[in-house]
Amino acid sequence: MRALEHLIQQKGVPGVVEMVPSYSALLVYYDPLVVGYDALCASVTAVTRELDTAVLPPARVVELPCCYDDPELAFDLEAAAVKLGLEPPELVRLHAEATYHVYFIGFTPGLPYLMLPERLRIPRLDTPRTALPPGSVGLGGGQCCVYSVESPGGFWIIGRTPLRLYDPEVSDPVLLQPGDTVRFRPIDRRTFGEIAAAVAEHTYRPVIT
């Protein structure tokens, strides 16, 4: 989907206004006053023929510091570990060792859709919580979620990042992009506090390579 989006962008397919990639679909907004439906479908179909040879720009790797070792932040870690038949440190190791592809961003501003390693797949909570703090890192179904704004949610919260995935106070409010690679770096509670303070003052520079 990202390759298709990239190609349509590069080729400047006439009439395309914006696109929303997701796991297995690409939503293409077009201006019907510029291009008709059939003509647009023909252009997009033509582009799909070049998909195999498309060269994508290299993915950015974005590091999200994550505090797993404070029950105030990671309030479901113990229970999730029990549910998965793992010791909590093992769960943390598996979660932090994995790399995550950002399939797309959505639901709330800046929220990434990430897939979990097989071993960490877990049914969602029976009763969703009404309000989870932004930055909460959760497991649910086959997905890993990092809440970008305070929202209700049915994920098991195993940690929290002090970074803001969405910050309406800065000119570029969204941290992650579709196609990025995300890695979680375990930090202790003290480091969490330090980074959170720097983020609040807009002096923290996320590690992006």
Binding-site ranges for other proteins (CB under 8 A) = 5, 17-27, 29, 32-33, 36-37, 104-111, 113, 148-149, 166, 168, 171, 173-174, 177-178
> In angstroms, what is the minimal distance from the CB of 18 to other proteins?
5
> Residue 114 belongs to what H/E stretch?
strand 112-115
Q: Tell the residue number behind the tokens 């291009």, with chain if given.
A: 35
Q: Of 68 and 113, which has the nearer Cβ to other proteins? A: 113
> In angstroms, what is the minimal distance from the CB of 194 to other proteins?
25
CB 83 within 8 A of CB 125: no
Dist CA 200 CA 41 (whole Å): 46
CA-nearest of 114, 124, 109 to 175 is 109
> In angstroms, what is the minimal distance from the CB of 68 to other proteins?
25
> In angstroms, what is the minimal distance from the CB of 84 to other proteins?
23
> Residue 10 belongs to what H/E stretch?
helix 2-11
Query: What secondary structure does DSSP assign to 175-193, as a single string?
Result: ---TT-EEEEEEE-HHHHH
Q: Of 19 and 187, which has the nearer Cβ to other proteins? A: 19
Q: Of 15 and 186, which has the nearer Cβ to other proteins? A: 15
> In angstroms, what is the minimal distance from the CB of 147 to other proteins?
12
* Secondary structure (3-state) at 179: coil
Q: Of 108 and 191, which has the nearer Cβ to other proteins? A: 108
Dist CA 195 CA 33 (whole Å): 49
CA-nearest of 81, 105, 96, 3 to 44 is 3
Q: Of 75 and 147, which has the nearer Cβ to other proteins? A: 147
